[in-house]
Amino acid sequence: MLLTSLPLTPDHDIPAPLLTELTALYTANHEFFALSGDFPDPDDIRPEQVATALAEELAHPDAEVLLARSEGRLVGVAVTLAHHPDPADPDPWIGLLMVDSGVHRQGYGRRLAALVEDRFGTEGRTAVRLAVLDGNDRALAFWTALGYEVVDRRPDREHGRPCAVLRKALVERG
């Protein structure tokens, strides 16, 4: 699996063919977006909505959108935050990790999570955090199976949705 940063045009737009791929990936994850409420109609996610959502992510300092490809096909996306807005929180965050639902349960999510963890580890980071929306039981099971532990329960910063905050210590790089 190849992990690359989201390429933007000189005008800071997502290239049209890539936006089409990203929209298909988002649309394939209807169940998550029905739970999250991130889009007005999870049955009709539009390219301009995906572009706006990603632009909002990238507006955060230290945010990065990473694309996961396997054999040239976009199979996942991860949004990371190198520094949390709360200065008391020293850990980087995974804001979103999503795999095309057509390839769920084939190991892509595990590999994508490992690649993101490796990126943070090579930067000398010692742990990573993320939040799982209440009611997203499959995501909670996925992350805990990867060694993440629930360290808090609180509303998310953006929308006030109830979440479990998970943390995983990273293997020290020597």
Q: What is the pTM of this model?
A: 0.92
C-beta of residue 138 within 8 angstroms of C-beta of residue 31: no
Q: Which residues pair with 97 in a beta bridge?
A: 78
Alpha-carbon separation of residue 41 from 34, 114, 133, 136, 148 (angstroms): 8, 32, 18, 18, 31
Q: What is the pLDDT tens value at each position of the chain, 174 positions in all?
A: 999 999 988 988 999 999 999 999 999 988 898 888 888 899 899 999 999 999 988 888 799 999 999 999 999 999 999 988 788 889 999 999 999 988 888 899 999 999 999 999 999 999 999 999 999 999 999 999 999 999 999 998 878 899 999 999 997 654
